[in-house]
Amino acid sequence: MTKIISTIVILAIIAHMIRPLGLPGLKRRADAWKLVLIAFAVIAITILVRPEPSADLPAGAGPAVALPAPLPAA
């Protein structure tokens, strides 16, 4: 989700730098920093709202990666 939001905002910033969007508060090319702040806030909220990846694992589940076998004692 954050990749999609980032891509959309980057495209909006590029479009705004070429030709200002004309929205209230975005009348000049120098106002692109406002889009960056909005993007930062939206991405931060998205990260805070999404569930933890480990919340889907049952209790006592080990790591998802297979660990190598221990070396035999010499």
Quick one: tokens of 63? 């790591």
**pLDDT one-digit tens code per residue, 22-42:** 878 878 888 888 888 888 898
In sequence order, the 6+-apart residues with CB closer than 8 A to the CB of 15 are 21
pTM for this entry: 0.53
Residues of the chain with pLDDT under 70: 1, 52-67, 74
